[in-house]
Amino acid sequence: YGHGFLVVAREIRRLADQTAVATLDIERLVEQMQQAVAAGVMQMDRFSVEVKTGVQKVSSISEQFSTVIDKVQGLNQRFDQVNEGMQAQTSGATQIAENLVSLSDNSKAATETLAEFRKASAHMEEAIDGMTNTVSRFRIVES
């Protein structure tokens, strides 16, 4: 049991380090998404690619967790607590992936709203130009 436990412990430590790195990557992606929404439509394509990359990383880590969980389940009951912790992390990774997809959808909606706002602004500018043109035709006659 000692050697098996050591192997599993090392694997868990490695996966925990990967999870920490992936979590930092995800935090960075969320910050970039907020900046991209503020910057406008041109930044949205780049951000979508980064979100997809983050989702792929989370999915990859989730698969690795599933593999480790399968190995741990073959050991005796002393590893039950480790197994429960890893299942919770897998669930958390899945929730993060779902939230990233939701954030991506929200950013696309924001892009569409910005495009509509720009279109409305252009129409208003045309109307103002027309009104200015019309008003400039009138002259005040002093008596």
Q: What whole-number distance in Å separates Cα of residue 139 and Cα of residue 134?
A: 11
The 10s digit of each residue's pLDDT in 72-114 is 666 656 567 767 888 888 888 899 889 889 989 999 999 999 9
Alpha carbon 82 to chain centroid distance?
Answer: 29
pLDDT reported for residue 80? 72
As a whole number, mean pLDDT of residues 35-60 equals: 70
Q: What whole-number distance in Å separates Cα of residue 77 and Cα of residue 101?
A: 37
Answer yes or no: pTM beyond 0.95. Answer: no
As a whole number, mean pLDDT of residues 28-37 equals: 78
Other CB atoms within 10 A of residue 8 CB: 16
- Which residue's structure tokens are 């929200």? 106
Helix (H) or strand (E) holding 38: helix 2-39
As a whole number, mean pLDDT of residues 36-64 equals: 71
Q: Please say if the pLDDT value at position 48 is more than 90.
A: no
